[in-house]
Structure 1
Amino acid sequence: MKYQMFHWLCLLSLSLSLPLLFWFGHVMTRAGLSLGLRRGGLGGYLRISPAGVDQLLHMHCSQCALVSSSGQMLAAGVGEEIDKVGCVIRMNNAPTQGYEKDVGSRTSVRVVSHTSVPLLVKNERYYFQQSADTTYVFWGPERNMRQDGKGHVFNALWKIAEKYPKVQIYAVTTEKMQYCDGLFQNETGKNRMKTGAFLSTGFFTMILAIDLCDSIRVYGMIDDNHCSRANHSAVPYHYYERNRVDECRMYRFHEHTQRGGHRFITEKAIYAKWATRHKMEFKHPSWSL
């Protein structure tokens, strides 16, 4: 595939201007990556298994339900609707037991932050034995995910993979992490690291969903203007943590903190842009795009 692309670019260089040649190379590269989704697996996600870390994620869904961990899901009553969707995507340690009526019971893919790994390990029998049919995708900075024995999160995941070899455990590659940073900067004009922010699990989940799914239904995610409306709903940050901080209060704090925060509100504005280019709808609450 790479050789064919190079061959065509060489031929085109005889007749195309240099700027146009670079543009064509970019398009061909994107086309090659899209082709890889169907033939060689999904780039940017490598499996962690006792056999090694070199297997791409082989998965494709015609329709996905991306279920937010937001308190907006409380009393949503859409559990049955969610369970009927082909692939159900959840985040971090968001539970289903006891919340089935609102969030459903099935989990096809679970995207997990490096900071939430201890929560899954603490309840490993549930996540990696009872829910062995779930595909797990873990993301984290290089210092935690490095594979030279010094990445403590990667080491923990490796032990889990050895203990439960049938479980599909994947890690977001360093290149994919950098790609996500580039997307954030392209959409906002701001360098993520210079602003002192971290991308959220929701951001990585949304990118995976776009890579993975032909169409996406997002449940329980508020838009970027929700918290500025006078009559906005007051719900907990997570539906399974009733006594924790209010969602909008958490979002405002993270949006304006100078170091170490997530730009939740900014990310929601980015999703609204993506929804105009991808088959995506937002439910409970619905968005006006």
Structure 2
Amino acid sequence: MRRFYILLTVGALCTCFTFYYINRYGKQLGSPVPVKANIRQENKQKIQKLEGIDKYVTIDQEEMFALRCNKCAIISNSGRLLKTGAGREIDETECVIRMNTSPTKGFEQDVGSKTTIRVIGHANLKKLQSMSAILEEFFSDPKTKTKHLIVAWLYMTHVNKTSNPHYKTTRILSKMYPGISFYVPTLESMQKAELIFKKETDITRKNANTWFTTGWLTMLLAIATCKNIAVYGMLEHHHCQNHMNDPTLYHYYNPKDGKECQYYKRSEESLAWGHLFITEKAIFENWAKQAPITFHHPFWNISGTSSSSLDTPFITKYRYRYKHFQRFSKLGTIPNLHTHAHITSQSGAFQMKVILIVFCLPFLFLMGCICCF
């Protein structure tokens, strides 16, 4: 009878501790809790004066990018531009900025044909070399060729000018088309882009395991280059969360590239790879409250002047996972979640194992000892 009461007491204590733990932390084992990001409420002047972000230099390192425009149009590659009839309005803009390998031929009515600046992410350079029709359109045809081509390093800050294959490709293209000004970012420009991302999200790009999108670097360039910016074909950050079955194409010129919202969702919810399309657009909305940036096709209904907290899928998921990882690892810095994916990918299951180990094993041990005596 004495052993029975001892077992009953130990079992009750184990149960009480287990319920205490679940009651205190159990709510965090389910859906992530909203987290407010550390957003800097910069004023309009600070947004417009991103010193160093526009420091691009010609491939021969002799001339800095110095173009300045009163008004710029940034043309996205989204299928949202189809059937908008925005081509004439775009071509009437003083400076038109396009991205990557998006063509205009065959789509002039909706996207126009004029190109002042084309920003190409470095990962697209090799593909560009093999696209003869696109090379003709971008660099030779007087109606469609760009005046300035800017290569954006999507994840690199230090680039070896002699051995880097993307730099070599840029050099080859610049020699093939001497009438076009080819620019590459300076170290200062890329460091500034990294710093701005860190200030806006409170996470380094490296720890977020992301590449910058070409759109992110294009927007930074436009803010430094243009007094007024009109963006065409870019959706609001919350659109895909509310319309996951939206059939709009990711690229207006290639149906094989899939649906826009589906790709955004896959990238945004990954902690180990991909672009942060939705998070970047939430940041753009905050900037548009402080600087002359407008959005068309679709129109963004932006109100107020204060920056909103970032509650995008990536930000919420990252901070939720980090919070639990830090509790058990006792790390003092934000971890790289790709490196520690074996722990963070199943944080809820991991915590339940801790519960069993901390509270239930001692009970089993004591029960075994009592039975032996």
Shorter-normalised TM-score: what interval?
0.7 to 0.9
Instruction: Say which of 25, 31, 55 aligns to 1:44.
Output: 55
1:267 Cα deviation from its structure 2 partner: 0.2
| In structure 2, distance between residues paired with 1:133 and 1:69 | 16
For the pair shown, the structure with the greater C-alpha radius of gyration is 2
Amino acid in the other structure paired with 1:146: N
SS at 1:197's partner residue?
Answer: coil
The one-letter amino acid of 1:74's match is L
Q: TM-score, structure 2 length as denominator?
A: 0.63
Gaps spanning 5+ residues in structure 2: where? 1-45, 303-373
| Structure 2 match to 1:107 | 115
Query: Which residue of 2 is the match for residue 184 of structure 1?
Result: 197
Matched, 1:270 2:283: yes
Please say which of residues 228-237 and 175-184 is displaced more in the overlay.
228-237
* DSSP 3-state at the match of 2:73: strand
Which residue matches 1:16? none
Query: Residue type of the partner of 1:127?
Result: F
SS in 1 for 2:96: strand
Shift of 1:231: 8.2
RMSD: 2.3
Kindly indicate whether the alpha-carbon contact (under 8 Å) linking 1:226 and 1:232 is maintained by their aligned counterparts in 2. Answer: no
Determine whether 1:125 maps to 2:136: yes
In the TM superposition, 1:133-148 aligns within 5 A as 133-140=146-153, 141-142=155-156, 145-147=159-161
2:245 and 2:235 map into 1 onto residues whose CA distance is 10
Residue 74 of structure 1 corresponds to which residue in structure 2? 82
Alpha-carbon displacement from aligned partner over 1:149-203 (angstroms, at most 9, x marks no partner): 1111111111222222221100112221121111111111111111111110000
Change (3 A) 1:36 1:114: closer
Distance in 2 between residues matched to 1:235 and 1:144, nearest whole Å: 37
Aligned AA (1:72): R
- Shift of the alpha carbon at 1:132? 4.8
Q: CA deviation at 1:43?
A: 4.5
What letter corresponds to residue 113 of structure 2 in structure 1? S
Once the two structures are TM-superposed, the CA of residue 100 in structure 1 deviates from its matched residue by 0.4
Change (3 A) 1:284 1:150: same
- The share of aligned pairs that are identical, in percent, is 34
Aligned to 1:159: 172
State the partner residue of 1:62: 70
Rounded Cα–Cα distance in structure 2 between residues aligned with 1:36 and 1:81: 30
State how far apart, in whole Å, the 2-side matches of 1:125 and 1:46 are: 24
Q: Which runs of 4 or more aligned residues in structure 1 lie more than 3 Å from their structure 2 counterparts after TM superposition?
A: 33-37, 141-145, 230-233
The count of aligned residue pairs is: 250
What is the TM-score with the length of structure 1 in the denominator?
A: 0.81
More strand by share: 1
- The answer as to whether partners of 2:118 and 2:146 remain within 8 angstroms in 1 is no
The answer for the alignment partner of 2:102 in structure 1 is 94
- When residues 132 and 222 of structure 1 are mapped into structure 2, their CA distance, relative to the original with a 3 A threshold, is closer
Letter in 2 for 1:264: F
Q: Distance in 2 between matches of 1:263 and 1:222?
A: 14
Higher mean Cα deviation, 159-168 or 212-221? 159-168
> How far, CA to CA, are the matches of 1:160 and 1:144 in structure 2?
21
**Superposition deviation, residue 256 in structure 1:** 1.4
